[in-house]
Structure formats: structure tokens, C-alpha cells
Chain A
């Protein structure tokens, strides 16, 4: 099944902790949970049942319904425990990253030889190791298991620091046991049972809103994570406040000046020769863009010439446009997550180029679609990704659909996430009239499903 969770496939042991089956946006027939052998690690995955759309008076349907409900409750009532083997304890550090003192006695003045400014540690500390995100708030002293392959950042004491969304995802999943910091001594948390475990409710209360993590961002994070994607924060995550100020006195994006009227292009010797021949071909042109007709009343030699004369509307060229710097983007329209497919190996220390870039926005804060400036700035903050490959070269439609830059908007409407892929396509770069002839033959020749397509 294509929509099965990969983690279950890979780690049947973990599947036994909490079965994860992709639930798409349909109402579920929960009877499939009966087929899922929770206790033994079976390799097979459950199948979904068929759907009835209307209630009918048959007992069969009622039976199916109640059975489904029972199965759901069954699955929900399964005790979710931390198994001895996979039990990972983490500690909540509300102050963010704190380097471990070299010498265990906590109350003693910090006399680490390396750090000089560690004295003002209790106040929000600036992370000394530049690679630790200042928003981290949970650390795992002894990370083990498959979940920490792609999340967290290690410090030099082999503690793994987790961002709030990572910690919340793991605790929600039942894979992490987070402890409150010990009230007596925040630096050295008690190792065995000295501090209290954090409840799920407390985790939500502490982590949502911490370090720019909004509910919308978390739903996107957890949703994609559950599907097996690897996510990492993108640079657009933070400093919203100062960017907004910057935005106010920002002149309109300069890239629009870069537009070239396509008519004026064509350089070099070929261009000169071409214009010469054009002159020979059309010596007494009556073409007038002032009051038409633009193609003139004279004799036109070829439809190409006609089309060339018609081109007066400037269009945006994504290649020549200068890449705007990320600060041009307006607050919600900003890449927040870098996403990799489940099959892509992602090394935490050296992540490859992201496969998707996701911007998260809430329809309750941003009630309207972005305007051109906002959307353009968002796209220009992503690298150029022109259509390439043999297939794209052949197929114009694919090129147009792929575009030159692309970004994914995650539009969260009260918890419901709709993803939209926005691509910057330049129709002006594909002169259709040059390869006129297009689709050959009658229209039923093409793709199989074309029949159902409406004209």
C-alpha cells in the first residue's frame, strides 16, 4: 500500500508501541485495526474497507458500523507504555541551551577554563556553540533509537538538544519521556526519579509558543513527519518582528525593472542579420502600435513575423530577475521548513539541498491570498530550479508546469492543512508559435484519461 507509514515497515518493533497508519482525510473504517496484530510484529499492513455513503436499514450496515467503532475504541484503549528497551528520558530546559559544567558540583562558581562568560548563564544564555539553535528547550542525555537520526543537535557532552516541535512530536508519539527540571538544581537533573515526568498537556502548554512554534507550524511539522518526511527549520523561521519593520520602509521589489520587452531581444550577428532580412522582407511597414493595426496593412511573410510584431506586453522573466534577498519576504510568506522525502538520506550535520520548501500560514491571520509582491518575494527567496531533464525538454506543458522556482504553501485553516505548490512559470519563454504544430492528430490520441477531460 502506497500510503503506509514507512517507519512501521522499517521498525516493526516500534510499530508495536503505537501503530501508525496513514489516515487520509476520509472518514475511517476502523475495522482495519482489528487486522493489525499489535502484539506480534507482523509485516503485513491493514487494508481499508469499502465505504457506504448513505445509511440503510440493513443489519449488516449497523453491524459493520458498531464493529468499526469497537475496533477504534479497542485500538485507543491499548495501553501505551514506554517499553524498557526503548525508554528514552529527556529533560526540559526552559532556558534553552546550557553548557554542562565540567565539574559536577553545581553550586560551585563556574571555573571552566574554556568559557569566560559562563557566569551569566542563568539569564538567557547565548549559545556558545554556534550550531545549537537558541530555541532548543529539551535535551536527551542518552539518545538512542531511530528517532534521533534526523532530529536534534548534539553538544560536546553527547547530549542531544531538541527543538520544541521535535520534543512535542516525540512525546506525542510516546517515544520520549520528558522530565521537569529538578526544582532544587536545574543544572544537574536527578537521574533516577528525582524529577517529575511531564504530561502531554504540559508539553503542549510549554512548547507551543516557544521559540516561534505556532500551532499551524506544528500541525504542518507533525503531519509531514508522520508521513516519514524529514523536516528542518529554514532560515525564514525566526526574526519576524524586525523583518516586519524592515518591510515597512521597503521600496517595491527592484526586480520588476529587470523586465525586458521580449521584442527587443535578440543580439549578436544573427540579430543584425535578422533585422536586415526583416527590412528586406518588409520594407514599407505600416505597422503601428500607436493606434493599430500592430501588424500593419502590408504584406506579412510568415506568421512568426506576425506574432513577433504582436509582442508588446512585458512579462516577468524568472531567469534575468535578480534574486531578492530573503528579507524582502513578508512575514507569513516565508520559507519555514526545509523538507526531504522519506527516501532521501539526510545527514544532520550536512543536510542536502532541500527537496521542498514549505511556507506555513494561517487563514485566520492572513485571510487573503498573497498579492504579487508577496508571492514573488517568497519565490525569489528560493533558489532557481529550472526545468531540466530529457522529459522536460521534450514536453512543453511539463516545463510550464514545473516552472523556474517553486515553493509549497501550507495553508492551515483551523487545523486543516492544504498544501499548494506554487511555481514561477514563464509562458513568455515558450514561444508556442515557433513550434506550431503542437499536438498532432486528433485529440483522442493522447493520454488515456483525456476522454474525461472537459474541453
Chain B
């Protein structure tokens, strides 16, 4: 099956478009109200003040009143705590409430055992039959299973078609030299080539089949023990069977081993260094401790911001640099944080793009609302005269800036496949700074420039 992936994915995706007219699908469970859950874009409290209307003196009073209340009872500024894990050079948040807050307000971090949102506990509860509903991981898995089954089915059908042709040919050979037929067919092959097995058709057929199977199964199911995930009607019977057989025994044994509601959350929230630094330095919403936060050794004071910057810079190398190493303006952390901060400050939800081979993905509002539209690749740039002063520096910077065309084409084609726009972000690196005391001034010396890259197909732009 050498069909390019594009051809495989499209037919699967296409049928979902036409408004599901009469499609056999049970109504989805209602989505959580994401707009309510994620109403705050950042983990910062804002307190609206009634607007001042110049020609309405009463408005002044209401403003004054609100000031008074703030003066008397200043609102609490929530500060979350996390610790820095040297071995993975990432930030861990273990407090349940902080995890929830950081995810819901601004989509920071990623569950260590989940795809993005920390959902391990929910999945685990579900697995043990304590909880109902679907996690996003399950939805994805179901979709993948379905696609794989369809592809297998297509391969099978193609094989069948070939066998049939072979049989027909053998029969024709035996019956005599009626050779006029095949070449004729071949001559205007566009019309007569064996009709290709189309995924779309297969899917439609599957739907019908599944509906019938479901109707038939409903009676049988009454006798059976109800399965927790027996609701997934979109599966082909074959896949469903596979799922049952793989799920049922394991869940039962686990049920025996553990008591129901009484297990700890094994998952923590993992923040990237850029996210953590943004939360700590930009928003002041996070305090980062050094030692692993086992209760006794928990250090009492959080790492100061300037020390944090040094630490992250050192850990942006693999292996981490020694603590005494001097900071360079082109430390990977400095460059990646510049880009992170730039897009965050414009209101984008910026998350790692490692799954698509880029540095970052940009979401409008957040991953639960929309797909990422932009994929960001970060490239350092050394246009300041300092970097071309000596031969050595020129060589160094040339090496740092070099990206091959093949790499670019790879990244570009992947982004086209997943419907993202590729954005090259060049970060202009300043010469080494005298001091790093003023972090704001330090980052103010960097310069960000974005280029959109897209494949241009002359065939498509002719008109």
C-alpha cells in the first residue's frame, strides 16, 4: 500500500462535512462549556473598574467606591508553586489546584501522562469503571482505529479485485484466444481500469453495516454485561470486537487489585522552561523552587528571577552547562523565550510544536477552541556588526544560522499536510550585554521578524 497519506486521510475526513444528513450517529455527549471554563486568558486576576463617564458625576462615585474596597480589602494575588527538575530540565507542578488553574487559564504546560490536558486521573477512573465520558485521548484513539480498519479493508478489497482479475484472465486463456478484449480495455484504460476501491464508499458501506449490526446487537446486548465503552457506534464491528477483547480482561483484574476511589493522581503538570519563566517573570504567578518538593527538603525560598534565567540558559544545552558558565546572548533559551514572550504578549496561546516538527504552534484562544493555524520555526540571526567583526565570529554565526533546503522542504510539506501555515521567525541576536541585571532591557535588545512560507504551485495560480 504505497498510497500517499494524503489520499488516505481525505476521504475519511470528507464524509463528516455534509451536515450528517441522516447519518447513523448517536448524539455526542454535550461538550463541556469551554467558554466558561477557559474564560480567563492568563492566570492573572483582573478587577474591572466601572468606567469613568465625564458628564456623569455619579460614575466617579462608583469608581471611588471600588477603589475603597480594594484599599480596605486588597484582592488576593494567586501565586502557584512548582519545582525545577534538573534531570529532565523541566518544571513540575504537582498541586492539584495549580495544575487546574494553569491549564484552564492560558493552557500552560502538559500532563506528564497525557497528550496535553492532564487527564490521566479521569482516564484511570474511567478505566476502572468509576467515571463516564470520553477523554480526548480516547476520541483520538478511536479515530485512528477506525482509519486503520478502513485502510485494511481497502487493501483487502484491492487484493480481492486483483484475484478476480486473475481468475477471469485464467478463464479467458482456457476458453481460447479471445485476446481482443484485454488490449482493447487497456487502450482506453482511463475509462475501464478496474474501479478503484474508494475509502469514502467503504465508509458509507461501513455505516450501513454498523447500523444494522447495532440494531441486531441491541437485543443481544441486553443479555450481556453492559460494557462501558459500548457506545462507540462509529466503529466497525471488527474493531469493536478487538477493543472489547483487549479491554475487558485487564479492567477486571485491575478492579480486583485496587480499591475503587482511593488512588493517588500519578500525573503532574510539566511546564517548559519558557512557560515557567513567562509565568514567573512576566506574570508573577509562579514561584519555582529548586529542590524536589518532597515535604521535608522543600526549600523555603523560591529561586529569584535572575537566577532562574541563568539556570534555564544553562539547561538549554544538552548536557546542561555548568552553573558558572557565562551567559551568551544566543543561548537557546534566550532565543526561544524571546519568541515565546513575543507571541504570548500579542495574545496567542503558544505551545510546543514538537509533534509537527516545529518549535511552536500558535493557537487562537487555546487548543480546545480552534486548531493551531500557525506553526513557528525559530532561527537565530546575527545581523549586528559585532557578529561579523572577526573571522571566527563569522564562521560561528554562519554555522548557527545554516539550515538546509531539504530541512525547510520537509518542515514545509509536513505543515501543509496538517493544514498549518509555516512561519519562520528570525530572532536577531544582540552583541553580548554588559550585565544581565535588567532582564527587560536584555530582551528588549532582541528583534523578532516573521516570514510566512508557503509552497507556491504554479498550476493553481494560473487564472
Which residue of chain B lies nearest to A341 when distances are taken between CB atoms in the complex?
Answer: B462
Which residue of chain A lies nearest to B425 when distances are taken between CB atoms in the complex?
Answer: A427
A425 to chain B: which residues have CB within 8 Å?
Answer: 423, 450-452
Name the contact of A419 in the complex, choosing from B12, B346, B449, B456 (C-beta under 8 A). B456
B461: CB under 8 A from chain A?
Answer: yes
The answer to whether A436 touches B347, judged by C-beta atoms less than 8 angstroms apart, is: yes
Provide the A304-332 mask, 1 if CB < 8 A to any CB of B, else 0. 01110011111110000000000000000
Q: Knowing A316-B447, A425-B450 touch, does A299 contact B75 (C-beta < 8 A)?
A: yes
CA distance A292 to B306 in the complex (A): 9
Name the contact of B169 in the complex, choosing from A59, A295, A302, A439 (C-beta under 8 A). A59
Provide the B5-19 mask, 1 if CB < 8 A to any CB of A, else 0. 000011011101100
In the complex, chain B residues 120-167 whose Cβ is within 8 Å of any chain A Cβ: 162, 165-166
The answer to whether A376 touches B449, judged by C-beta atoms less than 8 angstroms apart, is: yes
Q: Knowing A223-B458, A294-B281 touch, does A420 contact B187 (C-beta < 8 A)?
A: no
The answer to whether A430 touches B190, judged by C-beta atoms less than 8 angstroms apart, is: no
Name the contact of A413 in the complex, choosing from B12, B49, B196, B405 (C-beta under 8 A). B405
Closest beta carbon of chain B to A60's beta carbon, Å? 5
The answer to whether A294 touches B46, judged by C-beta atoms less than 8 angstroms apart, is: no
B255: CB under 8 A from chain A?
Answer: no
A88: CB under 8 A from chain B?
Answer: no
The answer to whether A50 touches B165, judged by C-beta atoms less than 8 angstroms apart, is: no
Interface hub of A50, A305, A371, A420 (most chain B Cβ within 10 A) = A371
The answer to whether A422 touches B458, judged by C-beta atoms less than 8 angstroms apart, is: no
B182: CB under 8 A from chain A?
Answer: yes
A3: CB under 8 A from chain B?
Answer: yes
The answer to whether B187 touches A34, judged by C-beta atoms less than 8 angstroms apart, is: yes
B70: CB under 8 A from chain A?
Answer: yes
Name the contact of A60 in the complex, choosing from B47, B194, B440 (C-beta under 8 A). B194
CA distance A142 to B12 in the complex (A): 58
B453 to chain A: which residues have CB within 8 Å?
Answer: 420-422
The answer to whether B17 touches A448, judged by C-beta atoms less than 8 angstroms apart, is: yes
CA distance A439 to B364 in the complex (A): 7
A112: CB under 8 A from chain B?
Answer: no
The answer to whether B444 touches A24, judged by C-beta atoms less than 8 angstroms apart, is: no
B305 to chain A: which residues have CB within 8 Å?
Answer: 291-292
Name the contact of A453 in the complex, choosing from B185, B346, B371, B459 (C-beta under 8 A). B371
B338: CB under 8 A from chain A?
Answer: yes
B251: CB under 8 A from chain A?
Answer: no
Closest beta carbon of chain A to B176's beta carbon, Å? 15
Name the contact of A315 in the complex, choosing from B17, B342, B412 (C-beta under 8 A). B342
The answer to whether A372 touches B190, judged by C-beta atoms less than 8 angstroms apart, is: no
A312 to chain B: which residues have CB within 8 Å?
Answer: 341, 345, 440, 443-444
CA distance A300 to B75 in the complex (A): 11
A442: CB under 8 A from chain B?
Answer: yes
In the complex, chain B residues 302-355 whose Cβ is within 8 Å of any chain A Cβ: 304-306, 338, 341-348, 355
The answer to whether A54 touches B2, judged by C-beta atoms less than 8 angstroms apart, is: yes
A42 to chain B: which residues have CB within 8 Å?
Answer: none
Closest beta carbon of chain A to B410's beta carbon, Å? 12
B447 to chain A: which residues have CB within 8 Å?
Answer: 256, 259, 314-316
B407 to chain A: which residues have CB within 8 Å?
Answer: 369
CA distance A453 to B417 in the complex (A): 8
The answer to whether A302 touches B77, judged by C-beta atoms less than 8 angstroms apart, is: no
B296: CB under 8 A from chain A?
Answer: no
B381: CB under 8 A from chain A?
Answer: yes
Closest beta carbon of chain A to B63's beta carbon, Å? 8
Name the contact of A31 in the complex, choosing from B189, B345, B355 (C-beta under 8 A). B189
CA distance A229 to B460 in the complex (A): 12
A10: CB under 8 A from chain B?
Answer: no
Kindly state the interface size class of chain A when it binds its partner: 35 or more
In the complex, chain B residues 260-281 whose Cβ is within 8 Å of any chain A Cβ: 280-281
Instruction: Tell which of B37-45, B83-91, B227-235 binds the partner.
Output: B37-45
Name the contact of A49 in the complex, choosing from B34, B190, B454, B461 (C-beta under 8 A). B190
Closest beta carbon of chain B to A224's beta carbon, Å? 6
The answer to whether A290 touches B440, judged by C-beta atoms less than 8 angstroms apart, is: yes
Name the contact of A293 in the complex, choosing from B34, B284, B344, B456 (C-beta under 8 A). B284
Provide the B379-422 mask, 1 if CB < 8 A to any CB of A, else 0. 10111110010000000000001111101110010000011110
CA distance A367 to B402 in the complex (A): 9
The answer to whether A449 touches B13, judged by C-beta atoms less than 8 angstroms apart, is: yes
A83: CB under 8 A from chain B?
Answer: no
Q: Knowing A290-B438, A307-B347, A453-B419 touch, does A438 contact B455 (C-beta < 8 A)?
A: no
B283: CB under 8 A from chain A?
Answer: yes
B244: CB under 8 A from chain A?
Answer: no
A22: CB under 8 A from chain B?
Answer: yes
Which residue of chain A lies nearest to B164 when distances are taken between CB atoms in the complex?
Answer: A58
The answer to whether A439 touches B365, judged by C-beta atoms less than 8 angstroms apart, is: yes
CA distance A423 to B364 in the complex (A): 21
Closest beta carbon of chain B to A171's beta carbon, Å? 23
Name the contact of B182 in the complex, choosing from A59, A229, A305 (C-beta under 8 A). A59
A193: CB under 8 A from chain B?
Answer: no
In the complex, chain A residues 427-455 whose Cβ is within 8 Å of any chain B Cβ: 427-428, 430-434, 436-439, 442-443, 446, 448-455
A211: CB under 8 A from chain B?
Answer: no
The answer to whether A35 touches B188, judged by C-beta atoms less than 8 angstroms apart, is: yes
Name the contact of B403 in the complex, choosing from A53, A342, A368, A379 (C-beta under 8 A). A368
Name the contact of A29 in the complex, choosing from B189, B304, B440 (C-beta under 8 A). B189
Name the contact of B455 in the complex, choosing from A2, A419, A450 (C-beta under 8 A). A419
B10 to chain A: which residues have CB within 8 Å?
Answer: 452
A285: CB under 8 A from chain B?
Answer: no
Name the contact of A401 in the complex, choosing from B186, B412, B419, B452 (C-beta under 8 A). B452
B379 to chain A: which residues have CB within 8 Å?
Answer: 369, 371-372
The answer to whether B341 touches A253, judged by C-beta atoms less than 8 angstroms apart, is: no
CA distance A432 to B303 in the complex (A): 32
The answer to whether A292 touches B17, judged by C-beta atoms less than 8 angstroms apart, is: no
The answer to whether A294 touches B440, judged by C-beta atoms less than 8 angstroms apart, is: yes
Closest beta carbon of chain A to B33's beta carbon, Å? 10
The answer to whether A369 touches B166, judged by C-beta atoms less than 8 angstroms apart, is: no
The answer to whether A313 touches B446, judged by C-beta atoms less than 8 angstroms apart, is: yes
B381 to chain A: which residues have CB within 8 Å?
Answer: 371-373
Provide the A385-412 mask, 1 if CB < 8 A to any CB of B, else 0. 0000000000001001101000010010
B455 to chain A: which residues have CB within 8 Å?
Answer: 418-421
CA distance A225 to B418 in the complex (A): 31
CA distance A311 to B31 in the complex (A): 35
A424: CB under 8 A from chain B?
Answer: yes
B452 to chain A: which residues have CB within 8 Å?
Answer: 400-401, 403, 421-423, 425
A204: CB under 8 A from chain B?
Answer: no
CA distance A449 to B17 in the complex (A): 7
B24: CB under 8 A from chain A?
Answer: no
Q: Knowing A261-B444, A419-B455, A433-B41 touch, does A294 contact B461 (C-beta < 8 A)?
A: no
Name the contact of B439 in the complex, choosing from A289, A316, A371 (C-beta under 8 A). A289
The answer to whether A421 touches B347, judged by C-beta atoms less than 8 angstroms apart, is: no
B108: CB under 8 A from chain A?
Answer: no
CA distance A311 to B342 in the complex (A): 7
The answer to whether A454 touches B356, judged by C-beta atoms less than 8 angstroms apart, is: yes
A79 to chain B: which residues have CB within 8 Å?
Answer: none
Other contacts beyond A301-B47, A427-B342, A437-B365: 18, CB < 8 A: A31-B188, A289-B441, A295-B44, A299-B70, A300-B44, A312-B440, A313-B345, A368-B405, A369-B402, A371-B383, A371-B401, A372-B383, A375-B426, A397-B373, A428-B448, A438-B369, A442-B369, A443-B371
The contact sample of 10 A-B pairs, CB cut-off 8 A, is A295-B282, A299-B47, A302-B46, A341-B462, A400-B421, A428-B342, A433-B41, A437-B365, A449-B14, A455-B372
List chain A positions with a Cβ less than 8 A from chain B.
Answer: 2-3, 6, 22, 24, 29, 31-32, 34-35, 47-50, 53-54, 56-60, 63-64, 66-68, 223-224, 227-229, 251-253, 256, 259, 261, 277, 280-281, 288-297, 299-303, 305-307, 310-316, 341-343, 356, 363, 367-369, 371-373, 375-376, 379, 397, 400-401, 403, 408, 411, 413, 418-428, 430-434, 436-439, 442-443, 446, 448-455
Q: Which 7 A/B pairs are nearest by Cβ-Cβ distance?
A: A293-B284, A289-B440, A433-B347, A432-B347, A452-B13, A372-B381, A292-B281
